[in-house]
Structure 1
Amino acid sequence: MAGNSDPLTPRAKLAVTAGKAVAAASRAAGRGSGSVIGGRVALKLDPDLLARLAQNLDVVLVSATNGKTTTTRLIAEALRAAGPVVSNALGANMPAGITSALAGGSDAQYGVIEVDEKYLAGVARDTDPKCIALLNLSRDQLDRAAETRMLAENWREGLAGSKAVIVANCDDPLVVWAASSSPNVVWVAAGQMWKDDAWSCPACGGVMQRPGDDWFCGECGFRRPTPSWALSGDHVLDPHGSAWPIHLQLPGRANKANAASSAAVAAVFGVPPQVALERMYQVQAVAGRYDVVQFQGRDLRLLLAKNPAGWLETFSLIDPPPTPVILSVNARSADGTDTSWLWDVDYTRLTGHPICVIGDRKLDLAVRLEVANQQFQVCDNLDQAVELCPPGRIEVIANYTAFQDLRRRVGN
């Protein structure tokens, strides 16, 4: 661990105290956790506060379009086997939220930090991470996030020559391109279900060849690196070829992939795969995702899906037809206001499920489902949708702010 026992200057201590006071006031006023506004105030008072808070921590950064909140939580659980951890577990993943989280972990040894894709390079500069996990890059918030190739370029430039161990998904060509500028990369075969953002070579623009699980560019020779860790069914294969069973309470292939990446990160800090994977079993839900809640005498499972890659993975883990499905889509600033991504989602996978549609942009979704020849009902709110659903458990899939609305309504 770097630095002295108390890295905080008087100014930094004042900034932390002021940030916590503002956050507490925000919570008392019922305006959420207060972590973002608290962090903003703290950074105004001391612009170097994030770097100061990080200097006594072994830091892990986690960035991706999909899976970063869950993977951050899994890594944090694994590293608790080695010492106290501070983490932005609620998903406030821009500099203000990250600063707020670290300010609350004065006795921690490890900082496990989820970072928004656009801010990764800057946060890496400030926190001097020991490890950075890169999971995937796909289209998301089309009005806010630059095209995925530009994000990959931003990562590639920002991480060039980084001292951190980069744990990267070798099945995503954009992630491989981004990580390849770093001298120390651990490749994980975590899989890639959604491939529609990686048909052209990020290195030269040529057409990507994708035989089986492999990929390469026929024009410049850019290709999938050989992984040292791999997800294989219900096991993680480590660099020695040993297979370790994955036991998760979280559902679906995507979470097994997150566990594989998390085990590789834990190993960087000396936590063996068996210990890391056993600890990950503790995670039941992540910020409400995957929770099963009681509402109006029914069991609702809450699932977050905010872009085409996420919807594809989510469809693969819902119960089979005729389990009813409620879909909710908003397009507020935190979601991205452009809903054209709905046309990239294959809604024919819902054939046979009774579907109810709610949310601010329910009519956009209704048009998309109509074109996909799905049977559905448009409802005013969650209560009405639940009443219209046939008996049994209900799968509820929502994008970001729609998910928060649902959690408030069901008291989660």
Structure 2
Amino acid sequence: MAGNSDPLTPRAKLAVTAGKAVAAASRAAGRGSGSVIGGRVALKLDPDLLARLAQNLDVTLVSATNGKTTTTRLIAEALRAAGPVVSNALGANMPAGITSALAGSSDARFGVIEVDEKYLAGVARDTDPKCIALLNLSRDQLDRAAETRMLAENWREGLAGSKAVIVANADDPLVVWAASSSPNVIWVAAGQMWKDDAWSCPSCGGVMQRPGDDWFCGECGFRRPTPSWALSGDHVLDPHGSAWPIHLQLPGRANKANAASSAAVAAVFGVPPQVALERMYQVQAVAGRYDVVQFQQRDLRLLLAKNPAGWLETFSLIDPPPTPVILSVNARSADGTDTSWLWDVDYTRLSGHPICVIGDRKLDLAVRLEVANQHFQVCDDLDQAVQMSPPGRIEVIANYTAFQDLRRRVGN
């Protein structure tokens, strides 16, 4: 670990104090956690504050389009076996939110930080991470996010020559291309269910060949690297060929993949796979995701899905028909205002489920379901959708701000 015991200058201490005061005022006014506004104020007073706060920490950064909040939680739990951890567990993943999270802990040894894809290069520059986990890249927030190939290029340039150990998904060609500029990469076979953003080679633009689980470019030879860690059914295979069972309370194949990547990260810090995976069992829900809540005498499972890749993974873990499904879609600025991504989702996977549609953009979703020949009802709100659903458990799938609306309504 670098630095002296107290890396904070008087100015930095003032910035931290001011940031915490503003955050507390924001919370008192009922405007959320206050972490973002607090971080903004602190960085205004000391633009180098993030670097100073990270100075005495062994930092891991986690970035991806899908799964970064959950993976951040899993890694944080695993590393607690080796010492105190500070993390932005609630997903405030831009520089202001990250600064706020790090300012909240003075005795941590490890920093496990979720980073928005667009900010990864800058945050890596500021925090001098020991490890960076890269899970996937797919289309998201089409109105404001760069095209995925451009994001991969941004990562590739930002991570070139990085001293960090990069733990990267060998099954996502965009991630592999981005990570390949780094001298020290650990490849994890974590799988890739959504492939529609990786049919052309990120290196030369050629057509990607995908025999079985393999992939390669027939034109330039860019190909899937040999992984040293792998997800295999309900086990993680480590570099020595040992198989470690995954026991999670979180559902679905995607979370097993997150656990495999998290085990590889934990090993970088000397935490063995068995210890890391046992600790991950503690995680029951992540910022409300996967929670089962009681509402109007029913059990609602809350599932977050923000983009086509996320919806595809979510459809794979819901209970089989005829379990009722409520779908909620908004298109506010935090979601991205362009809903054309709905046409990239295969809604025929919901055949046999009674479906209710709610949210700001329920009519956009209704048109899409109509074209997919699904039977559905458009409802005014969650209360009506629950009343119209048959008895039993209900799966509720929502995108970002729609998910926050649902949590407020059910008191979660």
Q: Normalised by the shorter chain, which TM-score bucket?
A: over 0.9
Find the counterpart in structure 2 of residue 323 from structure 1: 323
- Provide the rounded CA distance (Å) in 1 between the counterparts of 2:122 and 2:296: 46
Structure 1 residue 409: deviation in Å? 0.3
User: Deviation per CA, 1:383-405, whole angstroms, max 9, x where unpaired?
Assistant: 00000000000000000000000
Aligned residue for 1:322, secondary structure, equals coil
Structure 1 residue 312: deviation in Å? 0.2
Aligned residue for 1:333, secondary structure, equals coil
Aligned residue for 1:244, secondary structure, equals strand
User: Deviation per CA, 1:116-168, whole angstroms, max 9, x where unpaired?
Assistant: 00000000000000000000000000011110000000000000000000000
- Provide the rounded CA distance (Å) in 2 between the counterparts of 1:361 and 1:321: 25
- Provide the rounded CA distance (Å) in 2 between the counterparts of 1:72 and 1:143: 26
Superposition CA RMSD, Å? 0.2
Find the counterpart in structure 2 of residue 31 from structure 1: 31
User: Deviation per CA, 1:35-57, whole angstroms, max 9, x where unpaired?
Assistant: 00000000000000000000000
- Provide the rounded CA distance (Å) in 1 between the counterparts of 2:165 and 2:292: 37
User: Deviation per CA, 1:162-199, whole angstroms, max 9, x where unpaired?
Assistant: 00000000000000000000000000000000000000
User: Deviation per CA, 1:331-387, whole angstroms, max 9, x where unpaired?
Assistant: 000000000000000000000000000000000000000000000000000000000
- Provide the rounded CA distance (Å) in 1 between the counterparts of 2:67 and 2:187: 17
Structure 1 residue 323: deviation in Å? 0.2
Count of residues in Structure 1 that have an aligned counterpart in Structure 2: 412
- Provide the rounded CA distance (Å) in 1 between the counterparts of 2:19 and 2:410: 30
Aligned residue for 1:396, secondary structure, equals strand
Residue pairs, 1:30-69, within 5 angstroms: 30-69=30-69
Structure 1 residue 280: deviation in Å? 0.0
Structure 1 residue 64: deviation in Å? 0.1
- Provide the rounded CA distance (Å) in 2 between the counterparts of 1:150 and 1:298: 44
- Provide the rounded CA distance (Å) in 1 between the counterparts of 2:311 and 2:176: 23
Structure 1 residue 300: deviation in Å? 0.1
Aligned residue for 1:60, secondary structure, equals strand
Aligned residue for 1:236, secondary structure, equals strand
User: Deviation per CA, 1:296-345, whole angstroms, max 9, x where unpaired?
Assistant: 00000000000000000000000000000000000000000000000000
- Provide the rounded CA distance (Å) in 1 between the counterparts of 2:71 and 2:346: 25
- Provide the rounded CA distance (Å) in 1 between the counterparts of 2:227 and 2:398: 34
Structure 1 residue 411: deviation in Å? 0.2
Aligned residue for 1:70, secondary structure, equals helix
Aligned residue for 1:288, secondary structure, equals coil
User: Deviation per CA, 1:47-82, whole angstroms, max 9, x where unpaired?
Assistant: 000000000000000000000000000000000000
Structure 1 residue 293: deviation in Å? 0.1
Structure 1 residue 10: deviation in Å? 0.4
User: Deviation per CA, 1:84-124, whole angstroms, max 9, x where unpaired?
Assistant: 00000000000000000000011000000000000000000
Gapped regions of structure 2 (runs ≥ 5): none
- Provide the rounded CA distance (Å) in 2 between the counterparts of 1:250 and 1:267: 21
Find the counterpart in structure 1 of residue 395 from structure 2: 395
Aligned residue for 1:59, secondary structure, equals strand
- Provide the rounded CA distance (Å) in 2 between the counterparts of 1:116 and 1:99: 13
- Provide the rounded CA distance (Å) in 2 between the counterparts of 1:207 and 1:267: 35
- Provide the rounded CA distance (Å) in 2 between the counterparts of 1:183 and 1:92: 29
- Provide the rounded CA distance (Å) in 1 between the counterparts of 2:286 and 2:174: 26
- Provide the rounded CA distance (Å) in 2 between the counterparts of 1:209 and 1:58: 39
- Provide the rounded CA distance (Å) in 2 between the counterparts of 1:214 and 1:40: 44
- Provide the rounded CA distance (Å) in 1 between the counterparts of 2:29 and 2:109: 33
Gapped regions of structure 1 (runs ≥ 5): none
Structure 1 residue 249: deviation in Å? 0.1
- Provide the rounded CA distance (Å) in 1 between the counterparts of 2:105 and 2:315: 37
- Provide the rounded CA distance (Å) in 2 between the counterparts of 1:164 and 1:105: 23
User: Deviation per CA, 1:5-55, whole angstroms, max 9, x where unpaired?
Assistant: 000000000000000000001011111000000000000000000000000
User: Deviation per CA, 1:265-322, whole angstroms, max 9, x where unpaired?
Assistant: 0000000000000000000000000000000000000000000000000000000000
Aligned residue for 2:327, secondary structure, equals strand
Aligned residue for 2:301, secondary structure, equals strand
- Provide the rounded CA distance (Å) in 2 between the counterparts of 1:363 and 1:31: 30
- Provide the rounded CA distance (Å) in 2 between the counterparts of 1:105 and 1:67: 25
- Provide the rounded CA distance (Å) in 2 between the counterparts of 1:296 and 1:5: 53
User: Deviation per CA, 1:196-223, whole angstroms, max 9, x where unpaired?
Assistant: 0000000000000000000000000000
- Provide the rounded CA distance (Å) in 1 between the counterparts of 2:34 and 2:408: 17
Aligned residue for 2:113, secondary structure, equals strand
Find the counterpart in structure 2 of residue 219 from structure 1: 219
Aligned residue for 2:62, secondary structure, equals strand
Aligned residue for 1:86, secondary structure, equals strand
- Provide the rounded CA distance (Å) in 2 between the counterparts of 1:101 and 1:45: 17
- Provide the rounded CA distance (Å) in 1 between the counterparts of 2:22 and 2:404: 22
Aligned residue for 1:331, secondary structure, equals coil
- Provide the rounded CA distance (Å) in 1 between the counterparts of 2:7 and 2:93: 23
